[in-house]
Amino acid sequence: AAMQEEDELVLEAARKAIPKLSFEQHKGQAGRIGVVGGSEEYTGAPYFAAISAMKAGADLAHVFCTKSASPVIKSYSPELIVHPLLDAPKALDLINEWLPRLHAVVIGPGLGRVDSILSTVKDIILALKQNETPVVIDADGLFLITKEPSIIHGYTRGILTPNIIEFRRLSKALVALSQALGGVTIVRKGIIIDQRHLVLSLPVATMNEAGSPRRCGGQGDLLSGVMALFSFWTHNSAGAVPPTLLAGYAACLLTKRCAAQAYRKSGRSTTTTDLVAEINSVFSNTFEQKPK
C-alpha cells in the first residue's frame, strides 16, 4: 500500500510537469529534442528514439548521424530533421550551431564505436553540460561512458539507461563514479539514484508494471526518446521529486504500458513500431486522464 501511494505521488508530479496543449503555444515550446546516433549499420535506433519523442508530444526532433545513415533515416519519416554531420569534417563546429536550440538530447542510439566519432560525441556531451541541457545516454553512448566515466561526472541533468548487459559493463566504472558523487542509493527496483540525482533507469524490471514478454529490438530507443522529452518537461517545473528521477519514472511507465498494450494486440508479432502506435493512447490514459 505504501509503495502504491508513493507511485501515485510520483505519477501526480509527472502529470503536473507535462505542458498542457494550447492554441497560444508556438512550434518548439513543447520540446526540441536531439538524438545523436545513427551509422551505416544502425539506422532504426535513432529513428525510434526521435519519433517516440515526437509521438509523446515534442514539437521537433533532430537526428545527428553519419552521412551514410542520413538518407535512410530520412526515408523512414518526413517528421524528423536529419543532419548528416557526425562524420563530417569539423563535425563538432557544425553540430555546435544546433545544440543551444535543443531542450534535451539522447546520446547513443545506433552510434557505433568508431573512435573518431566517439571523440566528437564526447565533446558534444561536454558542450551540452556547459549549456545545462538534460542528457540521456544509451546504447553505444554507454560504451563511451564505460571508457571515460568522468565525462558525465557530477552532471545532475544526466540520465544513463543501461540494459542488464550494459549495466554489468558499467558497474565497475560506476563504482568509482558513484563514490566520487557521494554514494549510490537504490530507490526503487530498476531505478538507481545517487545523492546528487544522477539516475540510471533499467528498461527491464522497472516498477510493478508487467510490460511485455517480447524483447524485440528498439524498445530501449523508445524509452530513451520519451525520457529526454520528459526530462525537458520535469526540469521546467518545480516540484519535490528530483527532475531526473521523475523523467525516468514517467518514461519507464509509458514504455512498459505501451509494450503491454501492443502485446495484447499483436502477441508474438509485436515489434517496436507497434509500441510507437500505442504512445498516444497510453500517454492520454496515464498522464492526462484523472483516475476515477
264 annotated among ligand-binding-site residues = no
Q: Which grid cell sits at 26?
A: 508556438
Instruction: Tell whether 290 is in a known binding site.
Output: no
Residue 169 marked as a ligand binder: yes
Q: Are 57 and 28 in contact (CB under 8 A)?
A: no
Residue 225 is assigned to a ligand binding site: no
Does the annotation flag 81 for ligand binding? Answer: no
130 known member of a binding site:
no
Residue 212, annotated ligand binder? yes
Is 131 annotated as ligand-binding? no
165 is in an annotated binding site: yes
215 labelled ligand-binding: yes
67 appears as a binding residue in the annotation? no
157 is in an annotated binding site: no
Q: Which three cell numbers stand for residue 69?
A: 545513415
Q: Is 93 annotated as a binding residue?
A: no
The answer to whether the beta carbons of residues 34 and 97 sit under 8 Å apart is no
Residue 44 one-letter amino acid? G
Amino acid letter for position 249? Y
65 is in an annotated binding site: no
| Residue 88 three-state SS | coil
Would you say 219 is a known binding-site residue?
yes
**Which distant-in-sequence residues (6+ apart) come within 8 Å of 234 by Cβ?**
14, 17, 241, 243, 244, 246, 247, 250
Q: Is residue 167 marked as binding?
A: yes
- Rounded to whole angstroms, the maximal C-alpha distance in the chain is 57
Q: Which residue has the cell 509527472?
A: 14
| 122 has binding-site annotation | no
Q: How far apart are CA 102 and CA 39, in angstroms?
A: 21
* Residue 268 assigned ligand-binding role: no
Is 51 labelled a binding residue?
no
Query: Is 222 in a helix, a strand, or coil?
Result: helix
Cα separation values, 263 from 99, 207, 221, Å: 37, 18, 18
Q: Is 164 annotated as a binding residue?
A: yes
Alpha helix (H) residue ranges in the chain: 2-17, 44-55, 70-76, 91-96, 115-131, 140-147, 164-180, 219-235, 243-266, 272-277, 279-283
Binding site as annotated, residues for ATP = 189-193, 211-220
Binding site as annotated, residues = 110, 163-169, 189-193, 211-221
Binding site as annotated, residues for (6S)-NADPHX = 110, 163-169, 221
